[in-house]
Amino acid sequence: RAMDTSMQQKQQQVPVNPWACDEQEHFRRLGVRGQSSIYISPRGLRLFTRTVERAHTPPSACICMIHGYTNDISWTFQNTAIRFATMGYATFAMDIEGHGSSEGLKGFVPNLDFVAEDFYSFFMVQKQDPRYKNLPFFLFGESLGGGICLLVHLAHPQDFAGAILLSPMCKISDNIKPPWPLPQLLTFFSWLAPTWGVVPTKELRPLSFKDPAKLELSLQNPNRYVGKPRLGTAREMVRVTLYLSQQLQEVSLPFIVMHGGGDVVTDPEVSKALYETAKSTDKTLKLYDGMWHALLAGEYDADVDAIFNDIQKWLAEHVEKCNKDS
């Protein structure tokens, strides 16, 4: 009985959301409404989704959101969705396979091309909804999510009005790669035991969140993956980032790419290369001197507000352009 009581106390201490209050009450206070559901992907995976939009006003556009590695849509990432909703946008987000509340071994992502198709099919379902089908749809991705956005775009170049890419993982920074010859050895073993969580890399969150209070909040997320990267996941991220770095010139949709100059997780030089190389004629680069990897979840409030202002300005201009062209 004593052990049962101790377990109950520990369970009660685990926060269910970052606001420490009822989720729906939090939504009501901010004038938004949100719902969650399970989406069955074309390959049969049960994937957890969330939709957030303003409670009483129709949205002006839709934002299709993709989170980063080890993250999920029910913690600090949801604050971004809520903020977009208060701006007048409908947001759709889904936990990547093996992340958050979606099906799959925690932290294991064996094929990112399949993941990109999961997201594409989910977003296209939303696009067919009568409430949204006449609205422009924009991609939004952070870190690995930014890389997945590019995979979605490259496979379906005509289906989105633009993309917002924050610290996109088009190349893994050399600062967090294990030293030679470990990568070659790990690649070999990844084919033998892809689910092993043994890749010796630095803990990313202290390198991503500049604000100590926000770092602490991120560490309280009960759904985050806390193990070492799994061999198969690491191999797949290396494969995809190499592919993306070779396909930057094929990016044709309007986009804004945003990166912290002090980011040691993903390489800001590759965001510069994306801006300089992409064949898109409508592209914007924002580099934030001294900022780290988690631009919206980890910087101090004043800097987060400045980044959101840049995003809102870009979105407003492109929504207006879409409305004129339609």
Which member of 267, 293, 303, 318 is catalytic? 293
For residues 143 and 265, the answer to whether their CB atoms sit within 8 Å is yes
Which residue in 263, 267, 280, 303 is the catalytic one? 263
Buried b (16+ CB within 10 A) or exposed e, 214-227: bbebbeebebbbee
How many C-beta atoms surround the C-beta of residue 297 within 10 A? 24
Rama region for 66: left / alpha / beta (φ>0; ψ in -120 to 50; rest): beta
Give the separation between CA 325 and CA 15, rounded to whole angstroms: 46
**Annotation says 263 is catalytic:** yes
Distance between CA atoms of residues 302 and 122, nearest Å = 34
- CA atoms of 188 and 200, how far apart (whole Å): 15
Sign (positive or negative) of CA dihedral 307, 312, 315, 316: negative
> Residues 143, 190, 208, 271: which is the catalytic one?
143
What is the SS3 assignment for 106? coil
The DSSP output letter for 34 is: E
Instruction: Please confirm, yes or no, whether 26 is among the known catalytic residues.
Output: no
Ordered alpha helix ranges (H), the chain: 2-13, 23-30, 76-86, 112-127, 144-155, 182-192, 205-208, 212-219, 231-247, 268-277, 301-325
Is there a contact between 162 and 139 (Cβ–Cβ < 8 Å)?
Answer: yes
Query: Annotated active-site positions, please?
Result: 143, 263, 293
